[in-house]
Chains A and B, each alone.
Chain A
Amino acid sequence: MKTSKIKHSSPYAGWLLLAIALLVLAPAVLSDFRLGLLAKYCCYAIAAVGIGLAWGRGGMLVLGQGLYFGLGAYAMAMHLKLADAGPGGVPDFMALYGDAAVPWWWEPLRSGAVAVVVILVLPVIVAGLLGLAVFKRRIKGAYFAILSQALAAAFAILLIGQVKTTGGANGLNNFQGFFGYALFDPANKRMLYFVAAGILLVSILAMAWLHRSRFGELLVAVRDGEERVRFLGTDPANVKLAAYVVAAVLASVGGALFVPIAGIVSPDDVGVVASIGLLAGVALGGRASLLGPAVGALLVGYAETSLSEAFPGSWSYFQGALFVLVILLLPGGLAQLVGMAKRTVAHRERPALEEAAAR
Chain B
Amino acid sequence: MDAILAQVFTGISAGAVLLLIALGLTLTFGQMGVINMAHGEFIMAGAYTAFVVSTITAGTELSLLIALPVGFLIGGLLGLALEASVLRWMYARPLDTLLVTYGVGLVLQQVARDVFGAPAKEVPAPDWLDGSIPILGYDFPLTRLFIILLAAGCVAALLAVLRFTALGREIRATVGNRDLAETLGISTRRTDRATFFIGSGLAGVAGVALTLLGSTGPNLGTSYIVQAFLVVVVGGIGHLKGTIVAALGIGLLQAFLAHALTGSVAQVIVFLAIVAFLQLRPQGILSVRTRSLA
Contacts and interface: CB of A to CB of B under 8 A. Distances in A.
Interface of A: 59, 61, 63, 133-134, 137-139, 141-143, 145-147, 149-151, 153-154, 157-158, 160-161, 226-227, 272-273, 276, 279, 283, 313, 316-317, 319-324, 327-328, 331
Contacts of B294: 226-227
B99 interface: yes
Contact of B110 (A317, A322, A331): A317
Interface residues of B, number: 43
B109 interface: yes
Contacts of B293: 227
A142 B275 contact: no
A147 B103 CA distance: 20
A17 B264 CA distance: 47
5 interchain residue pairs of minimum CB distance: A323-B103, A161-B264, A320-B106, A320-B107, A154-B271
Contacts of B215: none
A188 B264 CA distance: 39
B103 to A, nearest CB: 3
A150 B103 contact: no
B264 A316 contact: no
A227 to B, nearest CB: 4
Contacts of A160: 264
Contacts of A331: 93, 96
Contacts of B222: 273
A273 B110 CA distance: 15
Given A323-B100, A323-B103, A154 B268 contact: yes
Nearest to B110: A316
Given A142-B29, A146-B230, A150-B275, 9 more contacts: A146-B35, A150-B226, A151-B275, A157-B264, A272-B226, A316-B113, A320-B103, A323-B100, A324-B100
Interface string B258-284: 000010110110011011001100100
Interface string B102-118: 11111101100110000
B35 A145 contact: yes
Contacts of A323: 99-100, 102-104, 106
B226 A142 contact: no
B33 interface: yes
A272 B33 CA distance: 22
B180 interface: no
A44 B276 CA distance: 30
A137 B271 contact: no
Contact of B98 (A139, A145, A226): A145
Chain A, interface SS category: helix
Contacts of B265: 161
A327 B29 CA distance: 19
Contacts, number: 118
A139 B233 CA distance: 11
Nearest to B264: A161
Contacts of B29: 142
14 contacts: A137-B278, A141-B94, A142-B95, A146-B229, A146-B230, A149-B226, A151-B271, A153-B226, A157-B267, A157-B271, A161-B265, A276-B99, A317-B110, A323-B106
A200 to B, nearest CB: 23
A320 B99 contact: no
B279 A150 contact: no
Contact of A61 (B95, B105, B107): B95
Contact of B94 (A133, A142, A146, A157): A142
Contacts of A154: 267-268, 271-272
A137 B113 CA distance: 42
B98 A142 contact: yes
B100 A328 contact: yes
Contacts of A157: 264, 267-268, 271
Contacts of B161: none
Contact of A133 (B35, B89, B100, B279): B279
Contacts of A273: 222
B90 interface: yes
B288 interface: no
A272 B262 CA distance: 21
A59 B93 CA distance: 11
B139 to A, nearest CB: 29
A147 B99 contact: no
B275 A158 contact: no
A268 to B, nearest CB: 13
A139 to B, nearest CB: 5
B107 A139 contact: no
B272 A138 contact: no
A300 to B, nearest CB: 13
B86 interface: yes
A229 to B, nearest CB: 11
Interface string B13-35: 00000000000000001000101
Contacts of B113: 313, 316
Contact of B268 (A161, A227, A316, A322): A161
A137 B95 contact: no
Contacts of A283: 99
Contacts of B109: 316
B274 A320 contact: no
B103 A324 contact: yes
A92 B115 CA distance: 44
Contacts of B107: 316-317, 320-321, 324
A59 B278 CA distance: 20
Contacts of B264: 157-158, 160-161
B230 A150 contact: yes
Nearest to B37: A276
B267 A276 contact: no
A117 to B, nearest CB: 26
B278 A320 contact: no
A137 B86 CA distance: 32
Interface in B79-103: 86, 89-90, 93-96, 98-100, 102-103
